[in-house]
Amino acid sequence: MAVYPDWLLKYKTKGIYANKLSESSYSLYKAHSEWDKDKKRSIRICDGYLGIVTQDLGLVKTRNRELPDIITYEFGEFKAILDKTHIDKEYCSKNFLYYKNVILCASLLNVVYKEYNEYLFSNTYLSLVYKNVNFNKIGSLVSAEITRMTAKVITLLNNFEFSKYKFIHLVKSKDVFKITNIDEYILNIAQVQGVELKYENS
């Protein structure tokens, strides 16, 4: 059974789950359990992503913070992993070409969060780049390929500390995208500073 630090426990109430990101931060989300008749076991269903809890800052919501016209997406860890591994360039088996983006995104979420679901995905910049990704009704073969790809990403990372980029977020304000350190945003820096991001949708 996982042991959680005292500063996290006030947020981890009934129906609230936490995933460890580092010694001083956890991702937090609501969830419930349902019986999966195919897997013949109970599975956890995410009902909503709450944000990141840090020892110093408390609960930091990742979207729709104090300024309603600003939306932030988790960016740094995923971009660092892709730059390090180039896993998005790997040729996918012809048996899984239809699910290529699903497999890629699920694998990246697995590496960062130890799980994947629609809520986690929607809070990352991956949801902007990879359109029409749907994790519902994934068969056992695709699930196995996600597991294989996850293991390959971890191997390619070779202990690379991608978590140090976790506070680098993609910020959308009035249809303009910028990259910024979310710590500065949380500390109420009035002007969002960063570099404008340009990317191609897949």
- Where exactly are the structural domains of the chain? 72-164
pLDDT of residue 30: 80
pLDDT of residue 164: 81
pLDDT of residue 40: 66
Rg for the chain, CA atoms, rounded: 17
pLDDT of residue 185: 45
pLDDT of residue 103: 92
pLDDT of residue 118: 85
Structure tokens at 109: 């979420």
Angle, helices 100-113/140-157, rounded to nearest 10 degrees: 50
Q: Can you list the residues of the chain whose pLDDT is less than 50?
A: 63-68, 184-202
